[in-house]
Chains A and B, each alone.
Chain A
Amino acid sequence: MNPILGLLSGLVFGLGLVVSGMADPAKVLNFLDLFGTWDPSLAFVMAGATVTAHVGYRLVWRRAAPLRMPEFDLPSARAIDAPLLTGAALFGLGWGIGGFCPGPALTALPLAAPGTLVFVPAMLAGLWMGGRAKSAMTHRKGPAT
């Protein structure tokens, strides 16, 4: 049951990415190009998604537990630390070059544009390498974040 519920959630997420235009790197890069061919559409994506999630989370958290897991598991890290800011800065750099963040890249994969076919395997390798780098950092510095 869980894989099917996960699939449905992913399908809704992916449809949102496609309908909103986030899965089109040209639109993302134009959103980031404030001083050129600026397309403010993606501000509406962020607003719609964030407000919906904000309201929905509050309704969901009235329950004692989620439907399919024993408890809610929210990120406990609070620190605005070097891994957070370094990682985010790197991510922004890559996002600005390619116009893809992880969700849209995966959703666009079956459309099989050459740029996507190169981006996604490199991203998966990066996710693996970055995870190793982060655990090396946190093991040196103390508790995991």
Chain B
Amino acid sequence: MELDTVTAFTPVASLAGGILIGLSAVMVMAIFGRIAGISGITRGALGAITGGPDARWRIGFVVGLLAAPFAYALWAGDLPAQTVPGNLPAMAAAGLIVGTGTAIGSGCTSGHGVCGLARLSPRSLAAVATFMGTAIVTVFVLRHLI
């Protein structure tokens, strides 16, 4: 993918944002007693996981995620800047693979990454090592071999 723009190293903002993500995971545990895994929350919000008492807060959570750029703009004065790959067939394939993979693997960067590692789960550590590994190899192949 032709997107090798250099991005600025932002340790302070990234650490601060990471702490917010961690706080949200703690809120979900304190309030609902659940793991804040976005792939699972999204499946729950879509009704792909049996409804029950969790469907409603999960829909609320997804709405909150969608509202975040606007909340950020209220505070920062501008919508967040981003550079999204423009190869649309590749993005469609990537989305399909990410959705399928996180559903089969029971989690993504949030559920296995943040929450699973925070719980010191060996299963999540194996998942994180696997997806970090294949992601790094994928970027290497796409940027440096092809």
Contact A13 B130 (CB under 8 A): no
Q: Contacts A39-B9, A126-B96: A69 and B139 contacting too (C-beta < 8 A)?
A: no
Contact B20 A118 (CB under 8 A): no
Q: Mark A29-72, 1 if CB is under 8 A from B, else 0.
A: 11011111101111011111111111011011101011111011
Interface size (A, Cβ < 8 Å)?
119
Contact B126 A84 (CB under 8 A): yes
Contact A115 B91 (CB under 8 A): yes
Contact B64 A13 (CB under 8 A): yes
Instruction: Tell me which of B85, B97, B137, B144 contacts A25 (CB under 8 A).
Output: B85
Instruction: Tell me which of A45, A57, A94 contacts B96 (CB under 8 A).
Output: A94
Q: Mark A113-132, 1 if CB is under 8 A from B, else 0.
A: 11110111111111111110
Q: Mark A73-100, 1 if CB is under 8 A from B, else 0.
A: 1110111100111111111111111111
Report whether over half of chain B's contact residues are helix, strand or loop; otherwise say mixed: helix
Instruction: Tell me which of B1, B71, B133 contacts A97 (CB under 8 A).
Output: B1
Q: Mark B104-146, 1 if CB is under 8 A from A, else 0.
A: 1110111011111111111100111011111111111011100
Contact A3 B56 (CB under 8 A): yes
B33: Cβ under 8 A from any A Cβ: yes
* Chain A residue contacts of B115, Cβ below 8 A: 53
10 example contacts (A-B, Cβ-Cβ < 8 A) are as follows A13-B68, A45-B17, A48-B14, A52-B26, A75-B121, A95-B131, A102-B109, A110-B70, A129-B96, A130-B101
| A residues neighboring B (CB under 8 Å) | 2-27, 29-30, 32-37, 39-42, 44-54, 56-57, 59-61, 63, 65-69, 71-75, 77-80, 83-103, 105-111, 113-116, 118-131, 133-134, 137, 145
